[in-house]
Amino acid sequence: MHRRQFLRATVGLGVPAAVGALSSRDGAAHPTEPSESNATTATGTSTPTPTPTEAAATPTSGYEPLGSVAVEDATEAVTTTDGETAFVAALDGFAAVDLADPADPTVLAEKRDISPPGTTQVMTGIQDVKYDDGRLLVAGPANYDPDGFHGIALYDVSDPASPELLRAYQTAYPIHNCDLSGGYAYLTGNNRDDNPLVVVDVDRDEPAEVARWSLFDHDPVWESVPVALRTLHDVFVRDGRAYLAHWDAGTWILDVSDPTAPAYVGEVSQLSPADLAELDGLAVSREQKEPPGNDHYAAVDPSGSLLAVGRETWNSNFGKEGTTPGPDDPGGPSGIDLYDLSDPASPAHLATVDPPPTADPNVNGVWTTAHNFEIAAGHLYSSWYRGGVAVHDLSDPANPERVRYFRRSSETSFWTAQLAAPGDAVVATSYGDPSLTDAESRLYTFPDVPRATPTATSTTGSPDETATPPTTAPTPTETAAGGPTRDGTDAVETGGATDEDGPGFGPLAALAGVGLGTWRLLQERGEDKD
């Protein structure tokens, strides 16, 4: 029996669950997250604030991991179409992790100290990888490194246990994030000037840049905006559209059906270039960290009709008196906004998924702001640094409902959350224990929400009664907030409803009538309208 099938069958019983030539072509997106190892933390005005107590910093719920595996310096993670493998970016390389048994993820292979042919430099600061059709794009460094190789490496990962380098491409700029679609790499080209989207054809034996697009191409007014406020932080590509998270400049939608000629479609923005252009000095530093703005990651659902924009913010006190947000200081964590893309030229705001609470909203406090996420199978799978991992039901995108939530601020700080297989497993990377400077980063697996499973019945009844309606797993019961947690500390109120903080999920349901690989393929092609 397949290990994943075995897990499904037993969970209800309580069982624990060749290299081409190097091509070349001619600019910190994140503050450093603080450790709780110090007794106090500094603010922008050098006024110390107490480190939050464990009770305030570590709420928990009944949603618990299935398993985990150590991956040194884990950051972003992506999964294969069949949900059997995860690839994890790991600063000096990447790891392939077997997910066939979600309760026991295992490292299949690691590639570290990647030095492409034709150079003695190695890749550093790798914070992003992207998977497409048996190939993995590895990009870095996320921020400028004078000694590291700047560029991308493309791997054949059709055998995840034995990745093979196909080719590489060198750039003159760092690459914070990337995407891979249809033989083209889409790169965040933060060159400290126009910060363009750069498109590279990686299907060639010698990859070559084929297009660039920047805010300057749309409106020269952006040239007067400080470069730190218009960083191209991330790019997401699906079905001929690219979604660019451009920090305080907003989120931009491009038509890339012809990757050699990106064209403007629409945008979502909270701030105007005229207002941003007036800022200088400490005001720029504060604006770069505080809401509104800070578009960090954007993605759409498989149909392309729903856009989610995550905004990464904190409280900043640079040049100001006081240490916490006040009536005139909106600083603190931001959430994920949902937009209707019926008219992509004019996205319409539907709802906001609020961030989890934090005992210290400062840049060097307890981070609970939005980070990376995925929309899949009608749900939003999201990570919130020390705020944990959440799953929201998007059946009504104007009223997203949180249905699962895990948080253990003293032990984890989550980088991403991704659906591996519907009704089966979710993966999330924690890049370290914030209380320990030498703690291991880990890839965690969680159970997905149960999926409806049609149940066949006898045909001996009345002619109209050939099948019963779909059934779902029972709803978990509520865990009272404020009671003792698994590690003996007192939890704080997490805003829980009975279906999000309960102790269990019931049996994990398999998809009916469609294989996992087929489902993921439909998701990637945008043909699943769930």
Distance separating alpha carbons of residues 145 and 467, to the nearest angstrom? 62
Q: What is the pLDDT of residue 338?
A: 99
What's residue 495's pLDDT?
Answer: 34
Partners of 24 in beta bridges: 170
Q: 209 and 176 in contact (C-beta within 8 Å)?
A: no
C-alpha–C-alpha distance, residues 9 and 341, integer Å: 40
Which tokens go with 348?
């319409």
Distances (CA, A) of 42 to 19, 49, 365: 49, 6, 9
Q: What is the mean pLDDT of each run of 10 residues along the chain (530 residues)?
A: 39 36 49 43 32 45 91 98 98 98 99 96 98 98 97 99 98 98 98 97 98 98 98 99 99 99 98 96 92 98 98 83 58 97 98 96 93 98 98 99 95 96 96 68 97 55 37 36 30 32 25 35 39
Where do the DSSP E strands lie in 269-387? 295-300, 306-311, 336-340, 348-353, 373-376, 379-383
- Tokens 């790991």 locate to 90
Return the amino acid letter for 131: Y
Q: Which domains does the chain have, with CATH numbers?
A: 1-30+77-173 (no CATH), 35-53+177-370 (2.40.128.630)
Cβ atoms of residues 40 and 51 within 8 Å: yes
Identify whether the C-beta of residue 312 lies closer than 8 Å to the C-beta of residue 369: yes
pLDDT of residue 399: 99
Radius of gyration over every alpha carbon of the chain, rounded to an integer in angstroms: 23
pLDDT at position 60 = 53
- Cα Dmax for the chain: 79
User: What pLDDT, on the 0 to 100 scale, is given for residue 320?
Assistant: 60
- Residue 32: the pLDDT is 60
Neighbour tally for 261: CB within 10 Å: 13
Q: What is the pLDDT of residue 432?
A: 75
d(CA 530, CA 520): 12
pTM for this predicted structure:
0.80
208: closest CA among 157, 145, 259, 252? 259
Residues β-bridged to residue 514: none
